Amino acid sequence: MIEDIDEGSYKITAEKSGYRAVQTSIIVRKPLRVIEMPKSAVVGQEVVVKFEESEDYSVMKGSEMKFSGFGKNITFTPDEEGNYTIFARDKEVGTIEVYQGIDVTKGVYFVIAVIAVVILIVFLLKKRKKKMKTISLGKYHAGALRTESEGE
């Protein structure tokens, strides 16, 4: 194992007397470092993946290539649910799970409907309690008065 080699392109030759020489080229690079990558996102939300250095990358959804490029940052806005897999240096870096978010307008209508139902229930209970108090108080007082007058 060779250590302390600077980054760059190298040509390696292996040869021995009586054998054919073999050459190959290699590129020595720092290990791939991902600085930022979300685990999940919502459809329509901007996703940012950041590398320490500029890299060749590609983004796949299943077996479909969504896009590829070169740079320190990958920025995209997924338009559908699913798993988006990020590749750099021809290796899988990670997967981002994209799911359908809640439609804000539907959420607002839901909250308004809940508030309206709560107000209606409170109004009906107050109205019912008033009727019940009047009836029960009237019977109670009438019964109590009769009992006292009968006892004297």
| pLDDT band for position 143 (cuts 50, 70, 90) | very low
Amino acid at 94: G
| pLDDT band for position 93 (cuts 50, 70, 90) | very high
pLDDT at 77: 94
Across residues 78-99, what is the average pLDDT? Answer: 94
| pLDDT band for position 149 (cuts 50, 70, 90) | very low
